[in-house]
Amino acid sequence: MKIYSDKKPPDYFYHIQPRNKALTLVRFCENPIESENGWQYDEHTVEVMTRSNMDEYIRRHYTELKAEALRAPSMIEKISASLDYISMMAGIDIPTESGAENGWAQP
């Protein structure tokens, strides 16, 4: 994801998720470019279990965590996977192909 900022981004930063304190979101910043309007960079994120020594943990596992963040599914892929799971558990067919009418797939 492309991010714009007033100041140069660090290699990474993190914050504990406010709704689930057991998870921490780690943000990796790549390709920072300074322009007349500030900084622009690519950001990749990964969620990890919250630890008391987060900085040390991220430094020790930097390569693995960054690789995981780079191959993380997009929001569309996450939504699609959630819909697949819901339809499977509910025993219904959620049409995703063309030709569907009134919310139902045509035989």
30 within a domain of the structure (yes/no)? yes
Q: Is 80 helix (H, G, I), strand (E, B) or coil?
A: helix
11 within a domain of the structure (yes/no)? yes
7 within a domain of the structure (yes/no)? yes
Task: From first to last of the 107 residues of the chain, give the pLDDT tens digit.
Answer: 788 999 999 999 999 999 899 999 999 999 999 988 899 999 999 999 999 999 999 999 999 999 889 886 666 677 777 888 888 888 877 665 555 455 444 45
CA 107/CA 99 separation, integer angstroms: 10
Structural domain boundaries enclosing 24: 2-90
Q: Is 65 helix (H, G, I), strand (E, B) or coil?
A: helix
pLDDT at 105 (0 to 100):
47
37 within a domain of the structure (yes/no)? yes
Q: What is the pTM of this model?
A: 0.65
CA 62/CA 28 separation, integer angstroms: 9
